[in-house]
Amino acid sequence: MIIFNLFKKYGILLVSLALLGSLFSFPAGAQTTPKIPTITLPTNPNFDLVISWRATNYVPANYQGKIMPSNNSSVVVSFDALDQGKFVDLSKQNIIWYLGDNFLQSGIGLKSVKFTVNQLNPVISISIPNYKDAKYSAGDIEGVITIPTTSAKVVIDAPYPAKAIKIGNNLFQALPYFFNISNLNQLNISWSVDGSDVSSQSGNASILNLTTATQGSPAVGANTSINVTAQNPASDFEFARGYINLDIK
């Protein structure tokens, strides 16, 4: 009787504890530590493309600026890909080049191409489809660059302060830029002074030896105008003119 009363008294409590235990029980061997989320690398590699270009047209020997391409200039474009500042090996990747919307060239590991400019400010695009390595799953790498163009130019080198020359001999030199030539002798250069042709004065067409006298025109106190023209006989479009006004003192 005493045992029955104890069971009756505490039976409900034992049943309640059993139910709670079943709600919070774990399978044998289960771990209760939090699950660490999986980090997935990006599908498309986010590389930095370093693209460079150089034109092969003519500039004076002492020119230190960027050689700008003009129409019909040959331009070499090359690039490298960087992943977090480190060069990426592209030697086994197919690389496709486009000029505007047109296919230019493709090849395995082809990181440099050469093309001829036939439009203003051509756009070069680079595509590496389905790039894949041990770090990245397949994804496309793309880059684009606009190459600025200019026209052929010629300037007159006049090494005289304040644009003033004196009585006697004064030398001037024509300096052509961005013509599609390999040397200066390929240009037709002509000079005029105050509207008169003086091209036959010198054996070197790029040099003008201007002699001013005390009598006649021009004279001391006068102003003189010098013009030079440069023409590439291989192209009607490669023409440039330069001029300078000088005081005679």
Q: Tell me: the pLDDT tens digits for 86-114?
A: 999 999 999 999 999 999 999 999 999 99
Query: So what's the pLDDT on residue 220?
Result: 59
Domains of the chain in start order, with CATH, are 48-146 (2.60.40), 153-248 (2.60.40.10)
Query: So what's the pLDDT on residue 187?
Result: 96
DSSP codes, the chain:
-HHHHHHHHHHHHHHHHHHHHHHT---TT---SPPPPPPPPPSS--PEEEEEEEE-SB--TT--S-----TT-EEEEEEEEEETTEE---TTSEEEEEETTEEEEEEET--EEEEE--SSS-EEEEEEEEE--SS--SEEEEEEEEPP----EEEEE---GGGEE-SEEEEEEEEEESBS-SSGGGSEEEEEETTEE-GGG-SSTTEEEEEE-SSSSS-TT-EEEEEEEEE-TT-TT-EEEEEEEEEE-
Q: What average pLDDT does the structure give for the chain?
A: 82
Q: Using 50, 70 and 90 to split pLDDT, how confident is the model at 67?
A: very high
| More reliable by pLDDT, 135 or 74 | 74
Determine the average pLDDT of the residues in 218-222.
63
Percent of the chain with pLDDT strictly greater than 70: 78
Q: Tell me: the pLDDT tens digits for 154-171?
A: 999 999 988 888 888 899
